[in-house]
Amino acid sequence: MPPFTGNVYSEPSLPANVLEIQASIDIDEALSYLGYKGQRLDPLLSETLDSVKAEVENLPIKALSRYFPIIDNPQKDSIDFKNCSLDLKGRDIRTHLKDAIGAYLVIITLGYDSERLIKREFAVSNTRGLLTDACASAYVEAGANALSDMVSRDASACNLITNSRFSPGYGDLSLDVQEPLLDALNAKRLLGISITDAGLLIPMKTITAIIGAFPEPLAANDSAKRCDICAIKDRCTIRKQGRTCHDVK
């Protein structure tokens, strides 16, 4: 992993190169995606899960992260960034970045090997496929958490405080921002990320997010509000388990 530059310049600056992220799969998290509610795990299923977990954890996690200062312009209804064509529209991202002086744009991916692995496991058996897919989701999520921690450390070296990750497609933030977000990170060239006409990313196990950077400590936990804006809040299986997807700790 390349060393962090910290506050070398006037603002935070992680390296422009691809970061390699270490993470491990939280099995409970993976099972929760599959609707697990404490059912007794048959030893055969446990064993399959272990072998799938090991295969998924062989995949490299790659990431990019870059800090962009917010251009303060209260007249405009969108949030603009310096050195970046991305502009973010919507009530929810505005709330997320309220009082932020800048934001980290991040992307984390399991790469094309993950596409091949998941496809292969579904070919071998749907059960293994399901478990592989869930483990891969938990793995990329764990990678995103690890990257968030790195971002938070990088920010704190500049006396900034970060908040949680906010991803396109969440709340009223349109998936249309995926394309400029990828461009801002040069993610097509550096990670080979592709985007479909509908704004979905390939490899599918890829997360993009926006993390706010603030000069002052954040007020209250925004957890409850975060769920309010979610389209699937009433059917969310994670919430039913008393957890949230944005506040994993």
Partner 1 sequence: MTSNDRDLLIKDEYLKRALSYEEFLIFDGAMGTMLQRLNLDGIEELPEILSITHPEEIEAIHRSYVEAGSQVITTNTFGANRLKLKGVFSVSEVYAAAASCARCAGARYVAGDIGPTGALLEPLGTLSFDDAYEIFKEQALAAEAAGCDIIAIETFADLREAKAAVLAAVENTSLPVFATMTFGNDMRTFLGTTPTIASSLLSRLGVSAFGINCSLGPAQLTGAIKDVASTSYVPIIVQPNAGLPKIVDGQTIYDMNASDFAKEMLPLVDSGANIIGGCCGTTPEFIAQLAQSVKGRKPAEPVRKDSFIVTSAQEAIVLPSDTHHITVIGERINPTGNKPMARALREKEYDFVVSEALDQVRAGAKILDVNVGLPDIDEAQTLSDVVEALSSTLTAPLQIDSSDPEAIEQAVRSYPGRPIINSVNGKQSSLDAILPIAKKYGCAVLGLTLDEGGIPNDPDKRHEIAKRILDEAEKIGLGKNDIAIDCLVMTVATNQSEAAALLQAIRLVKEHLGLKTVLGVSNISFGMPHREIINAAFLAAAFGAGLDMPIINPLSASYRQCVDVLSVISGQDKGSVEYIEKYSNYEEICANRQVNMADMKDSGASSISQAPSANQISSANQQAPLPIPKSFSDVPELANTAIEGILSGRKSPVGNAIKELIETHDIVDIIDCLLIPSLDEVGIRYDRGEYFLPQLMSSAEAAKAGFDVIRNYTATNGISLSKTGEKASSQPVVLATVEGDIHDIGKNIVAMLLDNYGYEVIDLGRDVKAEKIIEALKEHSAKLLGLSALMTTTVGAMRKTIEKVNAELPDVKIMVGGAVLTPEYAESIGADFYAKDATASARIAADCCG
- Give the binding site for partner 1 (CB under 8 A): 9-11, 13, 15-18, 31, 34-37, 39-40, 42-45, 47-48, 51, 66, 68-69, 82-83, 85, 111-113, 115-116, 119-131, 133, 169, 175, 186, 188, 191-192, 194, 196-200, 202-204, 231-232, 234-235
Q: How far is the CB of 217 from partner 1 (least distance, A)?
A: 26
Sequence-ordered alpha helix ranges (H) in 103-247: 111-124, 126-156, 178-185, 187-191, 223-228, 237-240
Closest CA to 249 of 131, 146, 104: 146
Closer to partner 1 by Cβ: residue 42 or 72 = 42
Closer to partner 1 by Cβ: residue 50 or 221 = 50
How far CA 111 is from CA of 22, 141, 219, in Å, comes to 14, 14, 37
Closer to partner 1 by Cβ: residue 235 or 249 = 235
Closer to partner 1 by Cβ: residue 224 or 231 = 231
149 Cβ contact partners less than 8 Å away, ≥ 6 residues apart: none
Closer to partner 1 by Cβ: residue 198 or 219 = 198
Q: How far is the CB of 131 from partner 1 (least distance, A)?
A: 6
Q: How far is the CB of 89 from partner 1 (least distance, A)?
A: 15
For 1, the token pair is 């992993």
Residue 239 in 3-state DSSP?
A: helix
Q: How far is the CB of 115 from partner 1 (least distance, A)?
A: 6
Give the chain's radius of gyration (CA, Å).
18
- CA–CA distance, 190 with 150 (Å, rounded to integer): 19
Q: How far is the CB of 99 from partner 1 (least distance, A)?
A: 21
